[in-house]
Amino acid sequence: MLIKNTRPNLLLTGSTGFIGSAIASRLISCSDYQLICALRCDSNIGPNCQSVVVGDLNDDTQWADALCNVDVVIHTAGRVHLMKDSAYDPLTEFRKVNVEGTLSLARQASAVDVKRFIFISSIKVNGEVTVPGKPFSADDSPNPPDPYAISKREAEIGLHTLAKETGMEVVVIRPPLVYGAGVKANFKTMMDWINLGIPLPLGAIYNKRSFVALDNLVDLILTCIKHPAAANQTFLAADNEDVSTTELLQLIGDALGKPARLIPVPVCLLSYAAAVLGKKKAAERLFGSLQVDISKTRDLLGWEPPLSVQEGLLKAVEDAESGL
């Protein structure tokens, strides 16, 4: 990919979200790029960043103003995975945003000669569980387990088809659970448990799970902006170290400076209790393995995660403590 201007113009979607805001912050502080943030509604992004209000992401969104003179699109916006989805037909709702909205943006981008389109997908496209020692790889056959993952996979397929038809380069990145400054949901809940000193029956879980620190994911995305080997590839993202749920809680405790109070209860008993309480899916995430092989990412891009798990957790904890 050749970008002739010295400061490529980047369009970032989802710039107020967890991942998007971290990308925006990194790019705003970098003099190598001119950043344009696409927003659902008017918002204060900060200095050194142009913003364009485009409204909701769907098939009817008009991107002409936002795409003017853009070289690369980084697309993080989408309908996120919901633990309790209240939609009557979740797949239809996911498709409206994650498939139709994404492909509409990509078609409009290719029509104005955008060079590269970076799409943040999900490891759930590969599946939800791995056998220990047999991690997911970028070239595995996809096995999306739910409407969210199906919509991400369908968007990937549409983008690669568009790339073949138009010559616009597409890069797909599939991260597992992302943690870091501003993390919410289940990861924040675990941090709160440890911070409060709550005893947890999670001291004997020997699974293996891959995570990715937010700073590591952002670094990979920025690598994919210009790297010629990234064109029309799918990459998995993860930290260098896989940990069990027990180890993760212990590491969170270390980062907080508070011991994790973990009781070694057998997983078979925990799984039975979770099933009785109707929490089988949540139990699978706590007790099951999900490992990610990033060797393709390393080999093609020469990329290594800049932060260790411990360093990533410290950043998440420092941010949480600063917000207290």
Provide the annotated active-site residues: 148
Which H/E stretch holds residue 50?
A: strand 50-53
Segment holding 179, helix H or strand E = strand 178-179
CB-based contacts of 20: which residues, under 8 Å, 6+ apart?
12, 13, 14, 76, 77
Alpha-helical (H) ranges within the chain are 18-28, 64-67, 90-94, 102-111, 147-166, 185-196, 214-226, 245-256, 267-276, 280-287, 295-301, 309-322
Compute the distance between CA of residue 324 and CA of residue 320 in angstroms, rounded to an integer: 7
Which run of H or E residues covers position 169?
A: strand 169-174
Dihedral in degrees, nearest 10, Cα atoms 282, 288, 292, 293: -170
**167 backbone φψ class: left, alpha, beta (φ>0; ψ -120 to 50):** left
Of 170, 70, 176, the closest CA to residue 119 belongs to 170
Q: Are strands 178-179 and 116-120 parallel, antiparallel or unpaired?
A: unpaired
What's the token pair of residue 260?
Answer: 């994790």
